Amino acid sequence: MHKIESLSARTIADSRGNATIEVTLGTANGKGVASVPSGASVGAHEARVVEPAMAVAQINTEVSMALSGKEFDQKSLDEFLIKLDGTPDRRRLGGNAILGISLAFARAAAAEQKVELYKYFGNLAGNTTFALPMPMFNVLNGGKHAKGGIAIQECMLVPVGVDVVGAQVQAARDCVAALKVLLEKNGYGTEMGDEGGYAPALTGNDEALDLLVSAISAAGYAGEIKLAIDVAASSMPAFDKETMSKWYADIVKKYPLISIEDPFTEDDWESFAVLRASALDVLVVGDDLTATNAGRITLAAQKNAINAVIIKPNQVGTVSETIDAVAAVRAQGWKAIASHRSGETLDTWIADVAVGLGCGYIKAGAPTKPERTAKYNRLMEIEPALS
C-alpha cells in the first residue's frame, strides 16, 4: 500500500500541438509523473476524453481532495477512481484524467519499491520473465493521420529478421531513407503525417505497399523486414467491405504481409470472423473492435473474430484494466500489440507496458520524430537488463 501525499495536474502540448494533461503524484517515498496521449482515430467503445483544462481542474480540486491522505495499491486506486467517476465510459472525470493518475501512481509506487516501471507492471500481472517486443514502424501514414494521403491509416515495417532493438531501429531508418529517395524520384512530396511516416498522395494503397517493398530491397533488408497495415475501417468515410475483403486476399498473396489491423468496422464481428477463418496466414488484429476491454476481447474469442489485439491504455482508462485486457489476450494464446497514439508526448511508459505485460509487438510510429524515438530509446535502455 502507498499513501498519496500530493496530486496535481497541468496542461501540456502533444505532438500535434494540441493540449493534453500531465499528472504528478507524490507518495511518502516516491514521485510519479505521467502524461497522456490522444488519438485522432478514436473508436466508439473507448473511454471518453474530457477537455484537458477541465480534466486538470477536476484533478487539482475534487480528485486531489478525494485521494490525499489515503493508502492504495494499484488495484484499489484504480477501482476508487472508477467509482469516483461513476459513469460506464469515464465521461465525468475523463479517461485521460483517470489514466494520468493511474500511471503517475504506478511510477510513484515503482519508485517506492525501487524497481523499474516495467518490472512493477510485470509484478502486477504475475510476470517473472521479460522479453522485448518486436517494433512495428509506421513509415507511410494515411487516413486520419495524414490529410491527402492514402485511404488506409498505417503501412508498417516489421523487422522480424533483425534481433537487437538498436539494429531494428537502424533498419527502419535505412528503409525510411530509401523510401524518401523513391518518393522524390516518382515526383511525390515527403511531408510527414502525425506518426512520423511519409504521407504522399499516392495513386492507391497498392502503390504504398509496392514502394515499401522496393525501399526494403534498396536498403538491403529483403527477407528480413515484413509489412503490416492498419486499415482503420471505422474511420474511413466510405468503406466497402466486399471490395476490401477481395483486396486483403490479394495483398496477402502478393506482399510479405504479416498483420491486418481493423480490416472491418468496429462492430462488424461477422466479417472479422470470416477473415479469421480464411486460409490467410496473417494476424487479424482488433483495435476499435476490442478497445483494450477485457469483456470485448472475451467476446471476440467467442466469435473467433481475431487472433491479435491492440493494447492502448487510454482506450480503457487505468493500469489495472490494461493488465486485465492483456491477460484476456494471453489466455487465448493471441498476440498483444502495445500501441502509442497519433497525438503523443515524450513520455515512454508504453514501452514499459509492452515489456512488463509481455506484449509481442509494439507500435510507436516511424523513427523520425522525438516523441516516437523516445519509446524506442526506452526499449534500448531496458534491453541490457534482459540479456
195 in active site: yes
**Which residues lie below 8 Å from residue 211, measured CB to CB, with a gap of 6+?**
140, 179, 182, 183, 202
Run of H or E residues at 226:
strand 226-230
Catalytic residue among 144, 226, 312, 375: 312
What does the alpha-carbon distance between residue 263 and residue 250 come to, in Å, rounded to a whole number?
A: 14
What does the alpha-carbon distance between residue 269 and residue 313 come to, in Å, rounded to a whole number?
A: 22
What does the alpha-carbon distance between residue 119 and residue 129 come to, in Å, rounded to a whole number?
A: 9
Catalytic residue among 46, 195, 321, 344: 195
What does the alpha-carbon distance between residue 93 and residue 95 come to, in Å, rounded to a whole number?
A: 7
226 in active site: no
Contact criterion met (CB below 8 Å) for 314 and 347? no
**Which residues lie below 8 Å from residue 80, measured CB to CB, with a gap of 6+?**
66, 67, 70, 72
Contact criterion met (CB below 8 Å) for 85 and 92? yes
Contact criterion met (CB below 8 Å) for 354 and 337? no
What does the alpha-carbon distance between residue 276 and residue 274 come to, in Å, rounded to a whole number?
A: 5
Active site residues: 195, 312
